[in-house]
A and B are shown apart, each in its own frame.
Chain A
C-alpha cells in the first residue's frame, strides 16, 4: 500500500534562560526522538485504523531502542527498523514507510543526531530530532530518491546531474509547477546558474537551508530541506530536494496531495548567546563510571516504566481510587483485582512544592548534571486531583519555577547505572520553550539569515567564524 507524510515534527535540545541559550545536558538520540514522536502522537494510536505499527529509526540508536520506543510510546509490538544516519538514510526510510507492503495503518520515521562535543571554535548545538508520520490519507507523497558520490572531473556534468535528478524523480518536463530546494556548500553560485539554465523553475538555493553550518547534522539539514520544500509546494504540486555536500549528491522527489501538519521548531533558532555545556554526546565516558548511588535493579526499573515513562496510574474498580505509581494494588482498599491502567495528563500540571538543590548538595549520581548545567530544581506536582509525583526540573534556570506554576513532563536521561542510561520523566516549565504550533507558517526563509547574521555579529570569535550564507 502507499502512504504519504501526514505530519512532521522537529525538536532541538536547547532552551532559553534570558538571553542565554543552553543545551539540555540530559538529552540524547532516544529522548530527542521520543520528543519528536510525542509531538506527532495526537495523530496515531496504539490500536485501530490509526495504529502505529512500524517505526523507522534513522541514525545510531542504542541496541535497547527497539523495546524502549515501544515502551515510551505505549505501543506494544511496535516493529522497529534501522536506517543509516545520512540524508539518504532519511529519504530511504521515508520511501520504505511510504511504499512497503505492511498492513494498513501508520508508520513513523524518526531521526536524531547528537553530534560530537563542540570542538574548538564551534559551540555544541548540532543536535536535534525530526519525526515524520505517514498514513494512507493524502499528504506529502514520497516519490523517488537517489544518491551518488562525485569525483572531481569525472561523472556527469553539473547540467547532466540536474537532468538526471529530474528524470529520476519522475519530473521529465521541467516547467511550471516544479519547486526545488537545493542545498550545497560547494560551488553554490555555479549550481544556481546551472539550475536556471536547465529548469526555468523556482529553483532555489534556500539561503536559510544552506546557511546551516556544514557540520550541522546532515539529517537535520535534510529534514529542514523537506520542510522548506513542503512550504513551497503550497503553490505548486511536485518538487525536488537536491543536495551537494562534501563530495556527495543526493536527491528526493515529493508531491503535495493533501495537508501536512508541522509541529515543533522548524525555523532557525532564536538569537541568543550559546552557553556551551557538556552534552549527551559524552555518553560513553559517563557510562564508564559505575554509579554507586540510588541503585534500582534493572528488572525493577523495567517494571516501573509504565509509570516512570508514560505516567500511568491504576484506577480501582471497587473504590475508584487512583494509585500512582502503579503498585498492583489499590492504595486505599488494598484490592488487586479490578485495577485499570489510566494514563495521567502530562501537561498543565500544577507545582505544589519546589526546591532548588545547590551545587554540591546533589546526590553523587547527579554530579554530571550539575557539572553540565549547575544547580537544579526539584518539584512535586499534582497529577490530577488526588495523586502527586516528584520530578527534577529541566530546561529551566534554577529558581525559575514557583509554587502554582504549570509544568509539562518530558522523557529525559536520569543517570547512568551499571553500563546503561536510565531515563525518566522530568518537569519542563510550560512557558519555556513556547508551546509548539501546528501551523506551517514560520518566518520566510529569506528573512531568517538576516536575523541569524545579526545574532552572530554579537558573538565571540568562536561562532563568528561560521561560514556566511552560501550565495
Chain B
C-alpha cells in the first residue's frame, strides 16, 4: 500500500482514499475474519470503510471489480484495492491442507484431489480430446519462466528448458513440477480513481474499459465440459459487451496460469484462439514477448508466483506498467489495450477486465 501510494505521479494524500477493498483468502487461517481492519490500520486510516473480498484465487479480480463499481456508480472518487497472501510461513502440513480449501470439498477433496489434481484431470481430458499436449505445456513453463527472469518482483528469476519442464517429477499426472505455480508470499495495490479526478494525480492513467465476471459449478464433474472453463467465457463475454474494442484488438494478456494447462484453456475460453488450438498457438511463439499476442509478460502465476489474494491485483498492476511503457526489460512494445483474467479455484469463478490507454 505504501509503495502504491508513494508511486503516484503527482503524489497523493492518503486522507483522500475513501474506501478499501482487501483481497485475501486468509491462507493458514491467520486472522480469517475481519482482516480488512488490519489493512486500514496499516494504512493509518483506522476509520476507513473496508471489506475483505474472497473468491479464492480470483479474490483480487473481484476486489478490483468492486472498486470499479464503487467508482463507476459515483459513490466514490478514489478507492484502494489491496491483494495480499502470506503462504510460506506456515507448517508444511497446514499448507497442504490450505492449498485445497477452495476446491469442492464433498466430492473432489474427498476423492483425494488438490487443485493440481483437478487441473491434472482437465489436462488429461484435454489431451484425450485434442491430442498430445505435453510439449505445449512445457512451452508455457519455458515462456513464463523466461518472462519471470525479466521481472525483479517475480518469485522465479531463472529460465527453464523444455527438457527440464518435460522431465520434471510428477505432481498430478500429466502435470509435473514445472507445470505448477509455486507457493509464494506477495502483495499488490491499485488506486482506482474516477476519470474526473484521475488527472489530478497523473497525466497517463490507465482506463478500465471493461469488467466481467462469471461462475460455474464448484466441482468439474458437474460442469458441461472438463476442457473448458465456462466461468471465464462468461466473464469475457460480459467484459467485451460494452468495451470500446473487441477480442482481435487485444495486444497483451495477463491470464490465470496457476497450472500450465490453465493458460491454454484461458486462451480458448477468452476467445483468443479456437478450441484445441492454444497449444499450437503457444508453440508458434505467438504468446512470447515480441510475439503476435504476448501472454503473461510478468512471468504469470507460474514464475511470478501465486500469492492467492494478490494475484488478480498484480495482474492489473502489470498491465498498468505495460500500458504506460514502464515494464522495463519485459515491455511489450506499443501496448495500448490489454486484458486480465483471474480464475477462482478450478473455474468456479472468474473475473475479466479490459484496460486501455484511452477512455474510449
Contact = CB atoms under 8 A, between A and B. Distances in A.
Interaction A to B: yes
Interface of A: 292-296, 300, 304, 325, 331, 352-358, 361-367, 369, 376, 378-380, 387-392, 399, 403-404, 414-415, 422, 424
Given A356-B172, A361-B171, A378 B124 contact: no
A302 to B, nearest CB: 13
Top 5 closest A-B pairs, CB basis? Answer: A355-B120, A356-B173, A353-B125, A294-B109, A353-B121
Given A362-B96, A363-B113, 5 more contacts: A353-B122, A353-B124, A358-B170, A380-B220, A390-B219
Nearest to B118: A355
Contacts of B96: 362-364
B8 interface: no
A363 B114 contact: yes
A352 B122 CA distance: 10
9 contacts: A296-B110, A353-B121, A353-B226, A358-B172, A363-B100, A363-B109, A378-B113, A380-B125, A390-B221
B121 to A, nearest CB: 4
Contacts of B99: 363
B97 interface: yes
A300 B114 CA distance: 21
B25 to A, nearest CB: 16
Nearest to A377: B173
B197 interface: no
Contacts of A390: 107-108, 111, 113, 219-221
A304 B226 contact: no
B97 A296 contact: no
B121 A378 contact: yes
A369 B124 contact: no
A364 B106 CA distance: 15
A403 B127 CA distance: 10
Interface in B221-245: 221-222, 226
B121 A354 contact: yes
Given A353-B128, A364-B97, A378-B117, A392 B170 contact: no
A84 B345 CA distance: 50
B125 A352 contact: yes
Interface string B127-171: 010000000000000000000000000000000000000000111
Nearest to B124: A353
Contacts of B124: 353-355, 403
Interface centre among A357, A361, A399, A414 (most CB of B within 10 A): A361
A414 B117 contact: no
Nearest to A369: B112
B105 A296 contact: yes
A378 B111 contact: yes
A331 to B, nearest CB: 8
Nearest to A399: B173
A365 B96 CA distance: 9
Nearest to A300: B106
A412 to B, nearest CB: 11
Contacts of A331: 222
A355 B173 contact: yes
A282 to B, nearest CB: 18
Contacts of A379: 121
Given A357-B172, A380-B220, A380-B226, A366 B112 contact: yes
A357 B121 contact: no
A376 B169 CA distance: 15
B226 A361 contact: no
Given A363-B97, A378-B111, A414-B110, A295 B220 contact: no
Contacts of A369: 112
Given A355-B121, A361-B116, A378-B113, A296 B106 contact: yes
A296 B114 CA distance: 16
Contacts of B125: 352-353, 380, 403
Contacts of B220: 380, 390
Contacts of B170: 356, 358
Contacts of A294: 100, 105, 109-110
Given A304-B106, A358-B170, A292 B97 contact: yes
Nearest to B170: A358
Nearest to B114: A363
Contacts of B128: 353, 403-404
Contacts of A363: 96-97, 99-100, 109, 112-114
B226 A352 contact: yes
Contacts of A399: 173
Nearest to A354: B124
Given A295-B105, A354-B121, A391 B97 contact: no
Contact of B110 (A356, A361, A367, A424): A424
A429 B100 CA distance: 27
B173 to A, nearest CB: 4
Contacts of B120: 355-357
Given A353-B124, A389-B221, A403-B125, A362 B114 contact: yes
Interface in B269-307: none
Contacts of B113: 355, 357, 363, 378, 390
B114 A361 contact: yes
Nearest to B95: A364
Contacts of B107: 325, 389-390
Interface centre among A294, A362, A404 (most CB of B within 10 A): A294
A400 B122 CA distance: 18
A387 B121 CA distance: 16
Nearest to B176: A358
B114 A357 contact: yes
A445 to B, nearest CB: 41
A357 B117 contact: yes
A415 B110 CA distance: 8
Contact of A293 (B109, B122, B171): B109
B97 A293 contact: yes
Contact of B117 (A352, A355, A415): A355
Interface centre among B96, B110, B169 (most CB of A within 10 A): B110
A354 B108 CA distance: 12
Contacts of B171: 358, 361
A158 to B, nearest CB: 55
Contacts of A367: 93
